Chains A and B, each alone.
Chain A
Amino acid sequence: MADQKYIDEVTGIETTGHEWDGIRELNNPLPNWWRWILYASIVWAFGYWIAYPAWPLISSHTTGLLGYSSRAEVGKEISKAKERQKVHLVKLEKASLEDIRTDPELLEFALAGGRSAYNVNCSQCHGSGAQGFAGFPNLNDDEWLWGGTIKDIHFTISHGIRNTEDDEARSSAMPAFLKDETLNKQQVNDVAEFVISLSKTGGDAPAAARGKSLYAEHCVACHGPDGGGKAEFGAPALNNGIWLYGGDKGTIVHTIANSRSGVMPAWGRILEPVTIKKLAVYIHSLGGGK
């Protein structure tokens, strides 16, 4: 809303007519160079609208005469990356697991691919650093429930653990000693004390002594005479400091009483064979591979 225009005494320029608390504004012309650049950008804009995607329509948009699309650009970049990777992928598909481990160039590519496939598929259960959680094994250490050679790891990833859809999935069943009423509460406690005594000193010695005979009767078949574990049953070693579900007495009692049966997907039914190879090489290289 323009009010009265004044002429400024100092410069002789007319004011715009607006006034804010007595402050007025001189109405000077826009610089020519500024105006012409504005006109040029307007012309440019029209040209741009014709050439490039610009205006939204109801359920689509104007695509422009040049046919440019940023989505297509991304598609092109992905194809280019895939082309570059193809060279290595072809070699990986042909090479055996041992070959990959010994060839530095293949190894580098497999590790990089394995790391990214791990982050997408495996980190949800096994953790972002492969450190695992209660019930999900730590893949960095050198204890392997089902064997730590690269072939074993490859098989485990491919066929899964106790997977109902894959016939070749690894499987075993630990009895639930208290639930099945094979042992009573006291006996479960004794076995737990014995198991703890395998890796730590200072527990309840008489209970451990009682547990030892119970262990020999019920547990040796799968877990081995010295608690060393047996890979064919997926039975963990009980004589070290590594516990899948927890090494405190309460958890061990719970394990013996109610049994455990962890599961893992059969990734061979979901991922490509070359990806399984990369994953196997990667997991094996985390430090505990045998």
Chain B
Amino acid sequence: MNETSVSPGIDRIDVEAVNKKETRSLYKKRVKIHPKRVQGTFRALKWWIMMVTLGIYYVTPWIRWDRGPGAADQAVLIDIPGRRFYFFFIEIWPQEFYYIAGLLIMAGVGLFFVTSLVGRGWCGYACPQTVWTDLFIYVERWIEGDRGARIRLDKAAFSVSKLSRRVLKFALWLMISVATGGAWVFYYADAPTLMVQLVTLEAPSIAYTTIAVLTFTTFSLGGLMREQVCTYMCPWPRIQGAMMDEDSLTVTYRDDRGERRDAYKKGESWEGRGDCVDCNQCVAACPMGIDIRDGQQLECITCALCIDACDTVMNRVGRPTGLIAYASVAGEHRRREGEPAGLRLFRVRTIAYLALWAAIGIGMLVALVSRADLDINVLRDRNPLYVTLSDGSIRNGYTFKILNKAREKRTLILTLEGLAGSRLKVVGAEDAEETAAPFFSAEPDRLHSFRLFISAPGEYLRREATAIRFILTDLESGSRAHYDSIFRGPKQ
């Protein structure tokens, strides 16, 4: 309760960590925390990352990419009715969804890599929960003031001024939440068109519903629930702990340097005491409300704001910075032995993660670039297995589907290998007569389905099932696609 003046400009802040062992309880109500503003390297890094990530999120749907007349001109578009995913020059059909799976695997491996290097770097800097909560706290601080002012406002009696500030804060939060939901739906439809529709109330109801849901989640998770999401809801903290080893960097309080902690007045000696002046700035700055001096703990998202806070104080009292710093367990051991701490970034683990990440990425890139833009799938009729014709030949029916992924119309010719004396007939082809090689046209970016009959003289069939191969050739470009199937006949 008493505020001891440790030095001109450094007050001991009256704050307690929310997870202090003595007062911790499973059924305790949430203690509202008011993170104090800090300035420093890591704060600046967090702002920078926030601007980049939010910028990407809000701006990307508006980027245009010309794909030709009649095609979608949005650079990043998930076209669910049209069954396409567009990403700049890449176009993915639903059959190629494994690329998305590959991206998700890369995201996972990338996370393991980052965690093994710098601990919970994702949590502290890039996670959407952290970014939006940080943004909402910034808005709150802008409207209601820094930590002290916010605590006083909470305690103040009801008044017009208090109400108007709260309303303004909630209004700004609501605007940000709506913009967040809005940006989400713009990925799924043409952004300019949908924007006009939303404003004139003509958008499909699912758009309004999605925006409403995301507004609600952004507002409650970022504005109201904040650190509880990380502590209670998110599974990452539990997983991330398993991905760190003794060489991973994490936010560390150097207690061998800091203890014994004691208040400090200007001019006092630093003999017989630690560097920690017990100002509690690290606890006040923490967005999770914990005390890093208790050691690494589940709640710590390694956002390093406590490092910035402590460095500021250390500069003021004239002590070296780094009382709280990014350090690894092994590095700390080495430092306490008197050796240089060192930075072991290149370890088997990190190199393995990076190699795996790169391998998957390169593999996907190669597969993507060497994709064929012509594909054929054949389904053989199962009922009846075969038909005997009046001239004694045997006929099988097939349904075949051609995928023309190119953006031009193509003329294709179908040939068959493996069945001597066979005749092909396509229902609906340009020449509906029997021929050895029917041809037909395929519209751009479309899937065509045809019925095909193959007849072969009965006496040529030696086996009950003959292996055959369909070959589809583009007459102009020469690209080919093939599919293996069988031709059935009566028991021999």
Which residue from A127, A128, A142 sits with its C-beta under 8 Å from B390?
A142
B388 lies within 8 A of A241 (CB): yes
CB<8 Å pairs between A and B, sample of 11:
A129-B381, A141-B388, A141-B389, A143-B389, A240-B390, A240-B391, A240-B392, A241-B390, A241-B458, A285-B451, A287-B453
B427 lies within 8 A of A128 (CB): no
B384 lies within 8 A of A131 (CB): yes
A142 lies within 8 A of B389 (CB): yes
Contact (A28, B387) CB under 8 Å given A129-B381, A241-B392, A287-B397: no
Residue among B384, B395, B453 with max Cβ neighbours from chain A (10 Å) = B384
Question: Chain A contact residues: over half helix, strand or loop, or mixed?
Answer: loop
In order of increasing CB-CB distance, the 9 nearest A-B pairs are: A129-B383, A131-B384, A140-B387, A240-B390, A143-B390, A129-B384, A141-B387, A287-B453, A241-B388
Q: For the complex, is A250 an interface residue (Cβ under 8 Å from B)?
A: no
Report A-chain residues with C-beta under 8 Å of the C-beta of B391: 240
A237 to B397, alpha carbons, bound, how many Å?
A: 24
A104 to B458, alpha carbons, bound, how many Å?
A: 33
A138 lies within 8 A of B387 (CB): yes
Q: For the complex, is A178 an interface residue (Cβ under 8 Å from B)?
A: no
Nearest CB of chain A from residue B401's CB, rounded to whole Å = 15
A242 lies within 8 A of B453 (CB): no
A127 to B382, alpha carbons, bound, how many Å?
A: 13
Q: For the complex, is A222 an interface residue (Cβ under 8 Å from B)?
A: no
Taken residue by residue from 369 to 383, chain B's Cβ proximity to chain A (1 for < 8 Å, 0 otherwise) reads as 000000000000111
A241 to B388, alpha carbons, bound, how many Å?
A: 7
Report B-chain residues with C-beta under 8 Å of the C-beta of A285: 427, 451
Nearest CB of chain B from residue A118's CB, rounded to whole Å = 13
Report B-chain residues with C-beta under 8 Å of the C-beta of A138: 384, 387
Given A140-B397, A142-B389, A288-B389, 5 extra CB contacts under 8 A: A140-B384, A140-B387, A141-B388, A141-B395, A241-B390
Q: For the complex, is A107 an interface residue (Cβ under 8 Å from B)?
A: yes
Taken residue by residue from 26 to 64, chain B's Cβ proximity to chain A (1 for < 8 Å, 0 otherwise) reads as 010000000000000000000000000000000000000
B383 lies within 8 A of A128 (CB): yes
Beta-carbon contacts under 8 Å, A17-40 to B? 28-29
Beta-carbon contacts under 8 Å, A50-95 to B? none
Report A-chain residues with C-beta under 8 Å of the C-beta of B428: 104, 107-108
**Which chain A residue has the least Cβ–Cβ distance from B458?**
A241
Beta-carbon contacts under 8 Å, A124-152 to B? 127-131, 138, 140-143
**Which chain B residue has the least Cβ–Cβ distance from A104?**
B428
**Which chain A residue has the least Cβ–Cβ distance from B387?**
A140
Q: Which residues of B contact A (CB under 8 A)?
A: 27, 381-384, 387-392, 395, 397, 425, 427-428, 451, 453, 458
Report A-chain residues with C-beta under 8 Å of the C-beta of B389: 141-143, 242, 288
Residue among B27, B384, B388, B390 with max Cβ neighbours from chain A (10 Å) = B390
Contact (A131, B390) CB under 8 Å given A28-B27, A107-B428, A287-B453: no
Report A-chain residues with C-beta under 8 Å of the C-beta of B451: 285
Taken residue by residue from 83 to 115, chain A's Cβ proximity to chain B (1 for < 8 Å, 0 otherwise) reads as 000000000000000000000100110000000
Contact (A237, B381) CB under 8 Å given A104-B428, A287-B395, A287-B453: no
A172 to B18, alpha carbons, bound, how many Å?
A: 97
A146 to B403, alpha carbons, bound, how many Å?
A: 40
A108 to B428, alpha carbons, bound, how many Å?
A: 9
A237 to B451, alpha carbons, bound, how many Å?
A: 28
A131 to B396, alpha carbons, bound, how many Å?
A: 12
Nearest CB of chain B from residue A16's CB, rounded to whole Å = 16
A115 to B453, alpha carbons, bound, how many Å?
A: 17
Nearest CB of chain B from residue A195's CB, rounded to whole Å = 15
Report A-chain residues with C-beta under 8 Å of the C-beta of B382: 129
A130 to B27, alpha carbons, bound, how many Å?
A: 70
Report B-chain residues with C-beta under 8 Å of the C-beta of A142: 389-390
A240 to B391, alpha carbons, bound, how many Å?
A: 7
A241 to B397, alpha carbons, bound, how many Å?
A: 19
**Which chain A residue has the least Cβ–Cβ distance from B392?**
A241
A108 to B451, alpha carbons, bound, how many Å?
A: 12
A274 to B453, alpha carbons, bound, how many Å?
A: 27
Nearest CB of chain A from residue B415's CB, rounded to whole Å = 20
Report B-chain residues with C-beta under 8 Å of the C-beta of A130: 384
Residue among B27, B388, B392, B395 with max Cβ neighbours from chain A (10 Å) = B388
A214 to B276, alpha carbons, bound, how many Å?
A: 123
Report A-chain residues with C-beta under 8 Å of the C-beta of B458: 241
Nearest CB of chain B from residue A197's CB, rounded to whole Å = 15
A242 lies within 8 A of B388 (CB): yes
A78 to B449, alpha carbons, bound, how many Å?
A: 26
**Which chain B residue has the least Cβ–Cβ distance from A239?**
B390
Nearest CB of chain A from residue B434's CB, rounded to whole Å = 11
A140 to B388, alpha carbons, bound, how many Å?
A: 9
Contact (A287, B27) CB under 8 Å given A107-B428, A240-B392, A241-B392: no
Contact (A242, B390) CB under 8 Å given A28-B27, A107-B428, A287-B395: yes
A173 to B296, alpha carbons, bound, how many Å?
A: 98
A108 to B449, alpha carbons, bound, how many Å?
A: 11
Nearest CB of chain B from residue A234's CB, rounded to whole Å = 16
Nearest CB of chain B from residue A281's CB, rounded to whole Å = 11
A28 to B26, alpha carbons, bound, how many Å?
A: 11
A97 to B440, alpha carbons, bound, how many Å?
A: 23
A142 to B390, alpha carbons, bound, how many Å?
A: 6
Nearest CB of chain B from residue A190's CB, rounded to whole Å = 25
Report A-chain residues with C-beta under 8 Å of the C-beta of B381: 129
Report A-chain residues with C-beta under 8 Å of the C-beta of B383: 127-129, 131
Residue among A28, A240, A287 with max Cβ neighbours from chain B (10 Å) = A287
Report B-chain residues with C-beta under 8 Å of the C-beta of A240: 390-392
A128 to B384, alpha carbons, bound, how many Å?
A: 9
Taken residue by residue from 237 to 248, chain A's Cβ proximity to chain B (1 for < 8 Å, 0 otherwise) reads as 100111000000
A141 lies within 8 A of B390 (CB): yes
Report B-chain residues with C-beta under 8 Å of the C-beta of A241: 388, 390, 392, 458
Report B-chain residues with C-beta under 8 Å of the C-beta of A131: 383-384, 387
Residue among A142, A240, A242 with max Cβ neighbours from chain B (10 Å) = A142
A237 lies within 8 A of B390 (CB): yes
Nearest CB of chain A from residue B228's CB, rounded to whole Å = 11
Nearest CB of chain B from residue A12's CB, rounded to whole Å = 11
Report B-chain residues with C-beta under 8 Å of the C-beta of A129: 381-384
Taken residue by residue from 154 to 194, chain A's Cβ proximity to chain B (1 for < 8 Å, 0 otherwise) reads as 00000000000000000000000000000000000000000
Report A-chain residues with C-beta under 8 Å of the C-beta of B395: 140-141, 287
Report A-chain residues with C-beta under 8 Å of the C-beta of B390: 141-143, 237, 240-242
